[in-house]
Amino acid sequence: MRVLAVSLVVGCWIVAQAAQTDTSGPIDCDAQAAIVKQAMTDRVEGVGLEETQTGLSETLGEEAGGMLARWIYDLPEGTSADDVAEAWKTQCAAL
């Protein structure tokens, strides 16, 4: 669980940097959590890493999209999309 928490902090920061073009305002943690939840749902439904990575890269940019996709696909089998999205939102709000 500690590894998940640490990787969430790093991942939130990376995605926040990629997704936030106007750095003067607050980070939209709800939007980030929705992106993460959709990618997790895709994984659970059998969508492949490359397809998920392509979709995330279109939204977040190639580097952040690739990193997030690999992180999601490295999570243990059976990890809940809802749990990951909620943890992501919590860590994002703490930044």
User: Does the residue 58 lie in any domain?
Assistant: yes
* pLDDT given for residue 6 in this prediction: 45
User: Does the residue 64 lie in any domain?
Assistant: yes
* pLDDT given for residue 16 in this prediction: 53
* pLDDT given for residue 8 in this prediction: 55
pLDDT tens track, the chain, 95 positions: 555 544 555 555 555 555 554 555 688 999 999 999 999 999 999 999 999 999 999 999 999 999 999 999 999 999 999 999 999 999 999 98
User: Does the residue 23 lie in any domain?
Assistant: no
4, HSE (Cβ side, Cα atoms, 13 Å): 14
User: Does the residue 67 lie in any domain?
Assistant: yes
Residues in the chain: 95
CB 29 within 8 A of CB 71: no
Please give the tally of structural domains in the chain. 1
Residue 66 sits in which domain range?
A: 2-14+29-94
Rounded Cα–Cα distance for residues 92 and 95 (Å): 5
